[in-house]
Each structure stands twice: as structure tokens, then as C-alpha cells.
Structure 1
């Protein structure tokens, strides 16, 4: 009698097949990561037709996450970044979303309050950045008058914290009115939500600081407010555990982030976006802890996210992979990845500010 053999079939996920994340129906699992470009030259820091062209060129991404958009005026950190807190801005963003949709794409607005990462020279009116505590970040920031030291922020009162939560929710409603498919809340990279999560920028002794349970509160309340405003299926959160960017220290991040996810895991968010940095090993813990869709911007020390990272999707380590710099120079990145075509390298001297050069002039494959 012949020996019986069995073959174990392993199903590998195809990064180029459609995927559904909450209310977002994506044509592939390749995401354009949020990247500040500082070209919001329209009235009241609003996007221009050039920005509409830029995003429309990249509509072959499964999902586009915009550059950081401030939910209120004090939330602006860098020169010429866009907002979503005025009628002019909503109208201008509608032209962007329409251009992306006409080209078959999906786009969400990343809402980013930079907190203490700002400078008086970058505001239309004379004012000082705000933060969790009056702790000046080490380092410098680009301003209209060149690089300058960060300044000591004005600490938000408890009522102002609640007002900020309300501003995020209002900006989320504005995003939907402007035609966005959803919003991503920026809780990473040393900006306001991350400042409250940290142990060095947040030295408060009230209900917003001290214990991890209090330090996660602003992020939790902001997510809840946005969910109430536009629905969980259109809401996402970006985090970057142990990320030291913008002078952030998180002494207890291995406790803080599982606690944060535990407060949010009952909400069917569109996705959780994890930006890996100092401790990529934590990603596996978060993957197991998070019941919904995971988007990963993998750690790439000395390099960039590229073709090899698609295996993370194939292996089930993540559902979506976010690509940053390669989308700058390769507007048709998903096609290039699919056919194994050469990838252009961006000119990062043209990354911030300027005109179409280094922005909308990168060619597609012929």
C-alpha cells in the first residue's frame, strides 16, 4: 500500500489585492505615509491646486494619509502647513479630495497638533506654542527666519485640554465635509498627544498627568470625541512607542501602550498605525493586543521602507504597510513594486516648501 503524504498549504496574503479597513475600501495594502511638505500657500493656510495635483498623482496607493493638518491655529508647528479649522480650508481641501477620488484613490486627513513643537515666528499672530507642561524641548525648528531653538511652551489648563479635544472633533467633522474618507489622529513623533503620553514633556500632577492612566487620557478622550463625531469606522490613530523624536522620553512605554490599546480596543477603529522606532519588538505585542486592522511603518535604520517590507504583509505581521520617502519620488509606487521596477530616489533638499520642483515633477514609468 503506497505511503500517504500530506501537503500543508500556507496561505500568503497578497499586498496588491483589495482590503477593507473600517469604512475604507482599499484597492491594495500599500499606503502613502503622512509627510509634511510645507506648501499650503492658499488663503488661511489652505491647500493649493498644486497640492491637489500632488495627491492625485499618488492615487494608486491603497490609501493616502495626508501631511499633518492642524485642528486649530495654535496647533501649527511648521511654516506653510495646512489647517482644517476654517471654511476656506474646508473648501480648498475639497478640491484635493475630489482630485484623488476622480483618480480612483482613497484619502484620509491626518490631524496633527504639534504642541510644544512650534515657534512664535510660525504663527500668523504673536503667540507661544502650548504643551502638556512648561518644558522646553531640546533642539531647533524651521521658521520663516531660519532654524531657531524651541521655546518654552505655555501649559494648557485642564479646560484648554478639553477645548483641544473639541477642536480635534470639529476638525474631523470638517474633514468629512471636505470629502475625506476618514481621519488619522497623530499621536506620534513628539507632537501634542505624544507629549502627554511621555514622561519628560508631561510633568502634570492633575488628571492629565502623572500615572500612565492619566497620561493616556488625552489620546483616549480625543479618539472617543472623534469617533462620536464621524464614526469609529472612519477614525484611526497613529502611535510611535519609544520614539525619541522632538526630545521625547517614555520611561514606561511597555506599560503605557498596552494600557492605551486596552482603552481603545472595544472601538472598531479603521486601523491602528504603528511607526516603529527604538523598540520594534514591541510591535508584535501590539499586534497581538490589537483586534483590528494594523498599519505598520516599519523601522528601517539607515534605509527606507521598500519592496522587502511587503513580506510583512505576506507573513501576517501587519495588514498594511506605509511607505514614505519612496512615494515622494515614485508617484506610481504600487505599480513599480508590483513589477519590480527601479525606484527613484527623492531629492530631499526639495522636500519642504518651494514650488513644483521636487514635488509634482517626478515621472511615472513609461
Structure 2
């Protein structure tokens, strides 16, 4: 048996294999509500050892793209319950990725048309996705944000707590805190997006304060063994920069070591892009990051992601570089990806023109090996 396909545990979550479905935004939840076709999509992919849901907003304020799901209305949570029931009916496990986009949003998506909130009032050099009145989509520049007042931060931390509880009540096996890709928590972490002069800005310790406040309340609410986190040390997504990512993320993972989390999910390189992408004056050392985490007493599963193929995944697990490997786009076009990897079978080609959109085309219509045969 190849170790990649053997069972393991991520904290309190027992999984059947070490192949993880990475979070994948698909823009098919009008009104922020997952629907029947969403349940079909995830159920088809339940052979993954663990599914991490598409990024899901913790609040209306946390919403940044049209037709992405939320965790803050009864209708959305009822929709998610159908998803989790479907995955569990196939013996799978699923966690929700908890999302607050911060400044990567547009006024039209915000409560009462207000400004998006962030660690900063500087606008991001990034775009978001809106749906026109005629139903077609378009990418538009993000709106000017406003920097959060100190008095507002506890309310957002509370939104994370409430969303974590709602996720468990909706049947999720756990949660993944989205602290990557230039969204709100990452905006606080990085010096390029955090120009605050209060206790949430300046030093690494101050910039990481918001992250740890969020982790504190979630772990207290649902337990560390059901809580994971995603980090992307060098990705430039969302116009996110930091000239010294190694000491920043070393501090972060050393702090995370005290919780006893389910897993830590690391994006290596540029999210969805080059694995050797770097910020700062030298390449990021992911092995050193892992070593620092373990030296601090961390025992969570170490999840790696970005551009892995079958052999790379096997080697990562066998060498101890990782405990589990997350695959993104291959899971879009291969609902039976685990079986294909086991057999070293060909993969369906991905139609990139249909990643985002409506209905089942490019979503639930990719064939399994059984149907190909």
C-alpha cells in the first residue's frame, strides 16, 4: 500500500486517505446559499480523505465575490446541511473554509453599500467578480476600503466564533480558518497591507494579534482538534506583500503550535501559480517552517498544496515532508481523483472556461473512470 492512500487522523478528524480536496471557489451559490447542485458536486468528490469547502463568508461584511456561499443565514446553513449529509452518506469528511475577504470586495456586495473593511484604508490592486443585471459576470476593481477601528475588531472576532459554531451545527466535521491569499487575516499579518500604528500594527507580534484572537475563540468554541488553518507565506494574491515572510510565518506557526490543531495548510509558492515564487531577498524555506513548528511542540497534520502531482505527493508523504497533500484544480475535473491516483490513470482535462458560472456544466458533469469505461 502506498502511504498516500492509507488512513490517518488530523486532530479529531479520522480520514480514509491522505488526499485532500483543496478549497475551490466556484461562484454557484446565488444569494450566498448553497443549493442542490452544490450538494451533488461535493458528494461526487467524497472519496477524498478530506474535502475543504470553497471559501465561505462568515458574515455579510466578509463577502467579496458574487454568488459565493455564506455561513450567516438560516438558508445558507440549511443548504450546507444538505452538502454535509451528502458527503457523509458516501463515507467522506468535510470541513468549511471560513472567509472574511477584508478589502478584496466591492461596495455593491457590502451591507448598505458600505466600504469594505481592512487593516488599512489603501485600495488593493486587485479585482473581484460581480454579476450584472442580465446574469452575466464581470471582473471589476475592488472598492476603496476603510481601516477598522479598534472598537470594531472584537465584533469581527465574534463573527468568526459564531460562524464556527454554525458550521458544526450544519454538520461540518471541522473548520479551516482562511488566513491566506491576501484576505482579511493575511492583510493584518503582512507589512505591505498593514500600516496601523496601534496594537494591531508595526511589529510581527502586533500584526499577528488578530489571527491569534480569532484562533482563541474558535478553538474554545469547537475544539482545537476540529480546527485547521490555511497560510500562504509568499503568495501575492490580493495585492499582498511582505519583504520578510520567513520570520513572520515562523512566528505564526510557533504560536499555532500551542493549540493542538487539526492541521496547518501551507500553500507553497504563488497560489495557483509558480511553486518557486518568492517575496523578499531569498527563497522561502518551507522545510524550515515545518521544522520550526515541530520544534515549538506542534503536532497538527502538515498539509502541503500547490502544483502537486501523483509522484510529488507520494514523495512528500513518504519523506515526512507532509502528512497530507491537497489537490485543487484536478478535483474539479476528476470527481474520482483518489481512484485515478491509485491506479495512475489518466486525468480528465480541465475546461478553464467553465470553472466559474452557473449550473452543472463544468461542475457536476465530469466523468468518472467507470463512466469513461
TM-score, normalization by structure 2: 0.91
Q: Do structure 1's residue 295 and structure 2's residue 295 form an aligned pair?
A: no
Structure 1 residue ranges, 4+ long, deviating more than 6 angstroms after superposition: none
Matched, 1:275 2:267: yes
For the pair 1:117 / 2:120, whether they are aligned, the reply is no
CA distances 1:276-324 after superposition (whole Å, capped 9, x unpaired): 11347421012112222100004x3xxxx32122211111110000000
**CA contact 1:37–1:352 (8 Å) conserved in 2:** yes
Q: Does residue 213 of structure 1 match 2:205?
A: yes
| Higher radius of gyration, 1 or 2 | 1
RMSD: 1.4
Q: Equivalent of 1:80, from 57, 61, 67?
A: 67
What is the total number of aligned residue pairs between the two structures? 348
1:154 matched residue in structure 2: 146
| SS of 2:113 mapped into structure 1 | coil
Separation in 2, partners of 1:124, 1:102: 36
Q: What residue in structure 1 maps to residue 355 of structure 2? A: 351
Task: Tell me the CA shift for residue 204 of structure 1.
Answer: 0.4
Q: Does 1:362 align with 2:362?
A: no
2:166 is matched with: 174
Deviations, residues 90-131 of structure 1 (Å, cap 9, x unaligned): 211111100000011000000011100011233464222111
Whether 1:33 and 2:22 are equivalent positions in the alignment is yes
Asked if 1:319 corresponds to 2:311, the answer is: no
Structure 1: gaps (5+ residues): 1-11
> Contact between 1:328 and 1:346, CA under 8 Å: does it hold in 2?
yes
Contact 2:43 2:87 (8 Å CA) reproduced: yes
Which of 332, 340, 352 does residue 328 from structure 1 map onto? 332
**Does 2:345 align with 1:341?**
yes
1:20-68 CA distance string (max 9 Å, x none): 0111100000000001001112xx4110000000000000000000000
SS of the equivalent of 1:309 reads helix
Counterpart among 46, 58, 73 of residue 59 in structure 1 = 46
Q: How many Å separate the matches in 2 of 1:328 and 1:361?
A: 10
Q: TM-score, normalised by structure 1?
A: 0.92
Preserved CA contact (<8 Å) 2:110 2:116:
no
CA–CA distance in structure 1, aligned partners of residues 193 and 156 of structure 2 = 17
Structure 2 unaligned residues grouped into runs of 5+: 133-137, 270-276
Aligned to 2:78: 91
